[in-house]
Amino acid sequence: MAQTTHHGGCHCGAVRFHVDLDLEQPAITCNCSICLRSGTMLSFAPSGGFVLDKGEDNLTDYQFNKMNVHHLFCRTCGIKAFGRGKGPDGKEMVAVNVRCLDDIDLEKVPTRQVNGKAL
């Protein structure tokens, strides 16, 4: 496992974070209604490996369907840089939008398609 610390945030910079991720593991692309429209590429980290450096008061929470995931958006620029929820094992996790990480070559990040429409 090649976990490294990555920094990222929203477009306007009001929300900033750092997170420990293994980007050698495939990031998820999903065809569910929200991922398809927002174009997210998600990598998951335990909540203990994620630190919100600034912008908690600038986040807007959106939930839908089973209300399992908190889709968090910057209220200024509208970018969804990460979300919070529980993994299949019940542990708190953070879904980070890899497209919102600083200095990442997206062509080098492996991906795995998930059929979220079927869930």
- Per-residue pLDDT reduced to its tens digit, 74-111: 999 999 999 999 888 889 999 999 999 999 999 999 99
Mean pLDDT, all residues of the chain: 92
Task: Give long-range contacts, CB 8 A cutoff, 24+ apart: 78-87.
Answer: 78/11, 79/10, 79/11, 79/12, 79/15, 80/38, 80/40, 81/8, 81/9, 81/10, 81/15, 81/17, 82/17, 82/19, 82/50, 84/47, 87/44
pLDDT of res. 68: 76
**118, pLDDT greater than 90:** no
pLDDT of res. 19: 98
d(CA 27, CA 16): 20
What is the pTM for the complete model shown?
Answer: 0.91
pLDDT of res. 33: 85
Query: Domains in the chain and their CATH numbers?
Result: 4-113 (2.170.150.70)
